[in-house]
Structure 1
Amino acid sequence: MTHLHMLKSYVYHGLTAGPKLVVLGAVHGNEVCGPMAIERVMRELDSGELVLQRGQITFIPVTNPLAHAKNERNGERNLNRNLRPNALPHDFEDRIANMLCPILEQQDVLLDLHSTTNPPGEPFIMLGPENNEGDLSPFSRAHEEEALAVRLGPKRIVEGWLETYADGVKHRLANPNISANARAQMLSTDPSYGVGTTEYTRAHGGIALTLECGQHSDPQAPEVAYQAIRNTIAHLHLADVTPPPVQTEFELLKLTQVIDRNDPADAFVKTWASFDHLNAGEVIGHRADGSVVTAPSAGYILFPNPAANPGNEWFYFAQASERLIDGMIASR
């Protein structure tokens, strides 16, 4: 399987100066909407149906070839956590990171295409922080990122990723129920655990959005991904095509808490789906010792994972956000 020893990227150069865009697919190997959409846009560029007038586009259809070959989320670990160059790589994802990170460092804009395991499959966008000078994720290009987010297509936007991860790491480090034996567990307690493709790109001066295009098997997911790529190209004026419409009716949620699974016997009280509404005090699950896990206030459950490994993310809690996006207030 020699193809697993390399990372394929395709670079298109316009003949006039402009922004540098990178589009990633299959950062998680079983999320195939990205590769399908990227290959469709590349065919349009190759045939001349779409003409790159300015700037540069780098496409990486399969960012994690080992995970993709296995048709699983991960190769040896999650590529979208602890993403950074490694002088002494321990696993396949470390070696991919050593090739991927220098590419991300050179970009002005990243669009990372994903899909989800659990219903509902409505697409949503993961947005970065507001402008800030803090230690965790300093950022100065939030307005540019927001302007792209409301032009990708989906109506649902989620923020608060890295801050929630940082809090999760603090709790994980203090949790007596987890083991530090496995390398995956060591990584999940690393302060850099929350850094993936978008966080790494922002830390090196770019803007970056993750687009969750729907459920893995949803036939509409590749279309959502395709339209997002085309809308990004149009918004950045890389090609002379019609500018994308602005999504003025959108929902904005903020992740506020990540709750880990402590024990294999920890169980949800029902089959939760991402974005299910929760009332304050509503029972979400039970711990192995019989204690209940409840919603801290009215809000939403995100990314519920009934099969999470102990010491890793069981679910996230989100609330409606008051943040202005591109000067607009989210609909309620």
Structure 2
Amino acid sequence: MNEPDSLHFQSISFTGHAPGARLIVLGAVHGNETCGTQAIRRVIAEIESGQLGVAAGSVTFVPVANPLAYARKQRMGDRNLNRNLVPTDTPVEYEDRIANWLCPLLAQHDVLLDLHSFHTAGQPFVMLGPQDNRGTLEPFARAAEETALALRLGVQRFVDGWLDTYAAGVARRLAAGASSREANVHYGVGTTEYMRAQGGIALTLECGQHDAPTAPAVAYRAIHNTLRHLQLADLPVPMPAQQTEALRLYQVIDRDHAEDVFARDWSSFDRVQAGDVIGTRHDGTPVRAESDGYIVFPNPRALPGQEWFYLAKRSARV
């Protein structure tokens, strides 16, 4: 098994002759999500061979954001890199060391495309940030730009409400007396939230199930479309998606015990109706849907105290 000190961080940048946006593309923030890594390396090869040119601005690729998790072929090294992402003067876990390298790199850019995949079967989708607001949780003023890019990544499904929903889950954990780091709203801050806090725009693209043969192609198309939309490559700009589905997360349910089990093999965006049994707690208590909607990010292998699944409703956002 690879030891942390034997690993290194890698970023590869290309700069055009003309001014333009500064894009950064991440792969393998979670080590078992490799579709982004494959797509990034394919695009790098195209640029280096002259098949694809960077005419303006710059693009930085990070093929493997979490080298330890990637080497171990697992989601995380010591902890989830996409939670509590912030530089620290006292790094303890390997992901703290990544943050001390990655966060300053993110801050040097204007746009982030973070490429992910998910546990169970399902259609690719984009995670949008908040609408413009002056609130304290995640103030933002560039929702129109972010949405315009999202519409051109090549997928039809759009989901928002992440940090609001996570914060509500934190409030519930605190009310129940939890003292773990998951009971802190800052633990919900990942790459995109950090990027927006630095003044940029940021999108997470969930390209499909981890091992789906189509996922790397989804990631590859998204990189190309982003380069074209931002006019970094001298190619026609992509058209926005015409048939779209927008959903908003509204509730997160944690796995309380290792013997909490799902009622069936759920996939992201399976429909649920009010009263449907989604799972059963270790003591036999059923976990039911409070209203009609969709299940998102079901994780049958979630650790106790962490997110088990999310629920979403239709939205008029896109």
Q: Which category of TM-score, normalised to the shorter sequence, fits these structures? A: over 0.9
Letter in structure 2 aligned against 1:225: A
Q: Find the counterpart in structure 2 of residue 289 from structure 1.
A: 283
Q: Find the counterpart in structure 1 of residue 251 from structure 2.
A: 257
Q: Find the counterpart in structure 2 of residue 192 from structure 1.
A: 186
CA RMSD of aligned residues (A): 1.3
Q: How many residues align?
A: 316
CA deviations 1:132-157 (Å, max 9, x no partner) are: 00000000000000000010001111
TM-score normalized with structure 2 length: 0.96
Are residue 203 (structure 1) and residue 197 (structure 2) matched? yes
Within 2, Cα distance between the matches of 1:190 and 1:3? 30
Are residue 248 (structure 1) and residue 250 (structure 2) matched? no
Letter in structure 2 aligned against 1:246: P
Note the 1:102-181 alignment, pairs <5 A.
Answer: 102-120=104-122, 122-176=123-177, 180=179
Within 2, Cα distance between the matches of 1:307 and 1:55? 42
Are residue 310 (structure 1) and residue 310 (structure 2) matched? no
CA deviations 1:298-323 (Å, max 9, x no partner) are: 00011112222111111100000122
CA deviations 1:29-72 (Å, max 9, x no partner) are: 11111111111111111111111111010100000000000000
Asked if 1 retains the 8 angstrom alpha-carbon contact of 2:31 and 2:67, the reply is yes
Within 2, Cα distance between the matches of 1:219 and 1:288? 35
Letter in structure 1 aligned against 2:104: P
CA deviations 1:160-191 (Å, max 9, x no partner) are: 00111111111122225x6x5xxxxx321222
- Gapped regions of structure 1 (runs ≥ 5): 181-185, 326-332
Give me the identity figure in percent. 56
Task: Report how far residue 3 of structure 1 moved.
Answer: 7.3
Asked if 2 retains the 8 angstrom alpha-carbon contact of 1:20 and 1:107, the reply is yes
Q: Find the counterpart in structure 1 of residue 70 from structure 2.
A: 68
Letter in structure 1 aligned against 2:287: V
CA deviations 1:97-151 (Å, max 9, x no partner) are: 000000111111000001111112x111000000000000000000000000010
Q: Find the counterpart in structure 2 of residue 23 from structure 1.
A: 25
Q: Find the counterpart in structure 2 of residue 224 from structure 1.
A: 218
Structure 2 counterpart SS, 1:293: strand
Asked if 1 retains the 8 angstrom alpha-carbon contact of 2:119 and 2:298, the reply is no
- Summarize the Cα distance change of 1:200–1:217 in structure 2 as closer, same or farther, 3 Å threshold: same
Q: Find the counterpart in structure 2 of residue 91 from structure 1.
A: 93
Write out the 4+ residue segments of structure 1 that deviate beyond 4 Å after TM superposition: 1-4
Q: Find the counterpart in structure 2 of residue 50 from structure 1.
A: 52
Task: Report how far residue 4 of structure 1 moved.
Answer: 4.5
Structure 2 counterpart SS, 1:242: coil
Structure 1 counterpart SS, 2:192: helix
Asked if 2 retains the 8 angstrom alpha-carbon contact of 1:131 and 1:141, the reply is yes
- Summarize the Cα distance change of 1:3–1:37 in structure 2 as closer, same or farther, 3 Å threshold: farther
